[in-house]
Amino acid sequence: MDSPEKPQIYLITPPSFELGRFPDQLARVLDTVDVACLRLDMASRDEDTLSRAGDALREVTHARDVAIVISDHQILAERLGLDGVHLTDSARSVRATRKAMGADAIVGSFCGTSNHDGITAAEAGADYVCFGPVGISGLGDGGTAETELFQWWSEMIEVPMVAEGGLTEDLIRNIAPYTDFFGIGDEIWRGDDPVAALQRLTTAMG
């Protein structure tokens, strides 16, 4: 994922969803708002559930030239023809995953609030690094990623970064000058109109 001038949207699926409804809902969002990448991020670890979801969402995303990655499941990413994998163990498995999946796969790394982990992941070959949560969220260990982290990273490191977790319009306005992507999930799916919610957040990006 290239580093754009204005932040792009990195969409995250809900932790669980109905396969009979969610692909259509996702299609409406992708048809209305410009999205760079989708992360399949389900709470389930059942391979059959993940495989069926991956198949259905890959059809929706690839028909619209949107990349799709899956959390922590390199084998399924390869088997289902997804574009890559999002690792949640900081930098620990980036190098091995990159070696296994090759140069063309997207390999992302969630590094919480740790600048050190982010640098390690970048040096190990991550295509992007996620920091968060930015706001109040169940993500991570309860700490939040401060604006200064994004500011420093944007000045010193070329690897793109994603800001995610507990995002609000105010937080987005604050961090938009420094981040490359906003990871948006629960912020839009928990309401009745994900498209309108995403449009509000996109407007705040400037």
What local confidence, expressed as pLDDT, does residue 2 receive? 53
The residue count of the chain comes to: 206
Neighbouring residues of 57: CB distance < 8 A, sequence distance ≥ 6: 13, 22, 23, 26, 38, 40, 68
Average the pLDDT over 31-56 and give the result: 97
- pLDDT single digits (tens) 80-124: 999 999 999 989 999 999 999 999 999 999 999 999 999 999 999
| Segment (H or E) for 40 | strand 37-40
pLDDT at position 51, please?
98
**Domains of the chain by start residue, with CATH:** 8-203 (3.20.20.70)
Which pLDDT does position 54 carry in this prediction? 98
168, 183, 177, 185: which is closest to 206 by C-alpha?
177
What global pTM score does this model have? Answer: 0.95
**Predicted pLDDT of residue 1:** 54
Mean pLDDT of the chain: 95
Tell me, what's the pLDDT at 206?
87
> Residue 139: pLDDT above 90?
no
Q: Does 3 score more than 70 pLDDT?
A: no
